[in-house]
Chain A
Amino acid sequence: QKEVEQNSGPLSVPEGAIASLNCTYSDRGSQSFFWYRQYSGKSPELIMFIYSNGDKEDGRFTAQLNKASQYVSLLIRDSQPSDSATYLCAVKDDYKLSFGAGTTVTVRA
């Protein structure tokens, strides 16, 4: 059974719209949650991290965490073509990060 599940993609959104990415995790004791963006052929880039229940905003990105539901999401507002990438959800599990399979987002002009 996978530890971290992400909504299957690909996700196509028009420029200027909101892209919504979801992630669920199985370890109820997890305390640290991360979102990475990975462009094709590049390494993952950390874009958001969240440790407490609620929302955390950084520019056009908002991470939402609900530990009771074991659910973390990422919203990308005013999506731009440069946001087209694969987004990876990661959850701390012991001394490692467990990653979801990723959701590929395409922002169409």
Chain B
Amino acid sequence: KAGVTQTPRYLIKTRGQQVTLSCSPISGHRSVSWYQQTPGQGLQFLFEYFSETQRNKGNFPGRFSGRQFSNSRSEMNVSTLELGDSALYLCASSSQGPGYEQYFGPGTRLTVT
């Protein structure tokens, strides 16, 4: 079975721009969660989607948004980028949600200059 895929793997953007990241979960998995990882804050939860519905959202500003499509693929968008948004963005898929085994993709490394 193929693992979780994320595109792009690396991204360099300028302050004020917006960015869209994509995640394809493991086949058959309906839950996709997004996390931000930085050296200072560690792994922080952004949001979780299950069958196209956002079930939970972390403590991030409204500039961070996401969605999930009927095929379970998910995207997250960050608008008006700030320097502090530079991070590794990880998505994780699970069959039912975070209470079950959750598998991470390789991540998207975002650098904001």
Docked-complex contact A34 and B42, CB < 8 angstroms: no
Question: Does chain B have a CB within 8 A of A101?
Answer: yes
CA distance A99 to B92 in the complex (A): 13
The chain B residue sitting closest to A102, CB to CB, is B42
A-B contact pairs, 28 of them (CB 8 A): A31-B99, A32-B98, A32-B99, A32-B100, A43-B88, A43-B90, A43-B105, A44-B43, A44-B90, A45-B104, A46-B101, A46-B102, A46-B104, A49-B101, A92-B98, A95-B48, A95-B50, A95-B55, A95-B97, A96-B48, A96-B56, A97-B33, A97-B45, A97-B92, A97-B102, A100-B42, A101-B42, A102-B42
The chain B residue sitting closest to A95, CB to CB, is B56
Docked-complex contact A34 and B102, CB < 8 angstroms: yes
Question: Does chain B have a CB within 8 A of A60?
Answer: no
Docked-complex contact A95 and B43, CB < 8 angstroms: no
Q: Classify chain B: how many residues form its interface, as a range.
A: 20 to 34
Instruction: Count contacts between A and B, CB distance < 8 Å.
Output: 51
Question: Given A43-B105, A96-B58 in contact, is the A88-B99 Cβ separation under 8 Å?
Answer: no
**B residues 72-113 touching A (CB-CB < 8 Å):** 88, 90, 92, 97-107
The chain A residue sitting closest to B43, CB to CB, is A99
Residue among A46, A88, A97 making CB contact with B98, cutoff 8 Å: A97
CA distance A31 to B97 in the complex (A): 13
The 6 closest A-B pairs by CB, nearest first: A95-B56, A99-B43, A96-B45, A95-B55, A43-B104, A32-B99
The chain B residue sitting closest to A30, CB to CB, is B99
CA distance A31 to B100 in the complex (A): 10
**A residues 75-95 touching B (CB-CB < 8 Å):** 88, 92, 94-95
> Would you give the 0/1 interface string for A44-83, flagging 1 where the beta carbon is closer than 8 Å to chain B?
1110010000000000000000000000000000000000
Question: Does chain B have a CB within 8 A of A98?
Answer: yes
CA distance A34 to B33 in the complex (A): 15
Question: Does chain B have a CB within 8 A of A28?
Answer: no
**B residues 32-60 touching A (CB-CB < 8 Å):** 33, 35, 42-43, 45, 48, 50, 55-56, 58
The chain B residue sitting closest to A93, CB to CB, is B98
